[in-house]
Each structure stands twice: as C-alpha cells, then as structure tokens.
Structure 1
Amino acid sequence: MSDITAADVAHLANLARIDLTDDEVDLMTEQLGSIQFLIEKVSEVATPEIPPASHPHVMNNVFRPDEIGEVLDRADALAGAPDQDGEQFRVPAILGDEQ
C-alpha cells in the first residue's frame, strides 16, 4: 500500500499553487500510489551488478566524414519560391517595430 495520502497531495498542490478539486486529489493520490508501487518493484530488481542506464538500448554516435555533394543552384532554389526579391527569398515580416 502507498504511503501517499490525500493530505500529502493536497499539501503539494497548495505548494505548487495548483487548485485541485477533491475528486482530482483522490485521483492524483491513487495515481501517485501506483507510481510509487512501480518504483518499488524496479528497486527490487535493481542490483549493484547492473549499471544504471539512461536509455534501454546502447546508443553510440555514428560519425561519417563530411563530403561535398551536389548542391542546389541558387536559381533552382528560388524557382520554387512563392515570392522572391532578386537573389533572396521574400517572407512575411514577423517582427514589429521592436526589431
């Protein structure tokens, strides 16, 4: 059984300035109890022989050499633009006078 009570949840909600209804406090108490139970289950099987992992799969960076490939010609890139200004894309302004 969980050590987390409705009073604990209500107190934490108050500290976090989260306004919870009584039904939400009851639901959160149940959910946090379930989480606590699962953490205890994981703690039972965690042993010093098994190092902690941040991901379930071993992940390594895969590097490859940078090689220059085919590049898109400026005219070809601008050909698909809905609006252009000479050799540049024209886009709607997103900043006001504060820029």
Structure 2
Amino acid sequence: MTDATIRLNSQYQAAPQVQASEFKYYQLITTQWSTPPNPGSPSGQLTPEISANVTMESYIQPSSSCNNCHSMAMPNNNLHKSDFSYLFKFAKSPTAPAIQHKE
C-alpha cells in the first residue's frame, strides 16, 4: 500500500460513525487512476495496471482491473463512459408531490 492509502485508511477508520459499524474493518488496498494522455498513450495508462476487489472479483484478479469493467458504468440514455458506478443506472429522482390549488 502507498503511504497515502495508509493515511486515508487511518483517517477513515478513526471516524466515530465508522468505529460504531462493521466498516471499521474495511481497508482500502489500492486506488486505480489513469495517467494524463500523451502522444504515445492518448487515453492515458491505468495505474496500477491490474487491481481487483479480492472479496468479489477473485475470478479476474490475474488479468483485469477496476476500470476495465467500471468504465462501462453510465446512467441510462448516456452514450459516454462517465460515472464508474453502476448504482447511478438504478437511481431515480423522487417524485414531486402534486400541488393542489385552493379555490
């Protein structure tokens, strides 16, 4: 783990609401990001190249990465890779209450 990841884990785990939950056992291992584009790699390069959630993605650990899958996450009716979370696909705006006019 990088020093930044270790510091982030310590800060997160020290929060009172985390201490009172099962998330106190959670530990971030790595964060994947894309390096800035350059002429040799216009889309950037993923760093680290391979990473996976060991509890849920054990079947792809040796050959894949977070962004290989999550880059496909996008809200409905959106043609652009954008959000990296599939939760937004199922999000819905709350229905506004009907306005009743008094006569």
**TM-score, normalised to structure 1's length?**
0.25
Larger relative helix fraction: 1
Higher relative contact order (CA 8 A, sep 6+): 1
**TM-score, normalised to structure 2's length?**
0.25
Q: Which has the larger radius of gyration?
A: 1
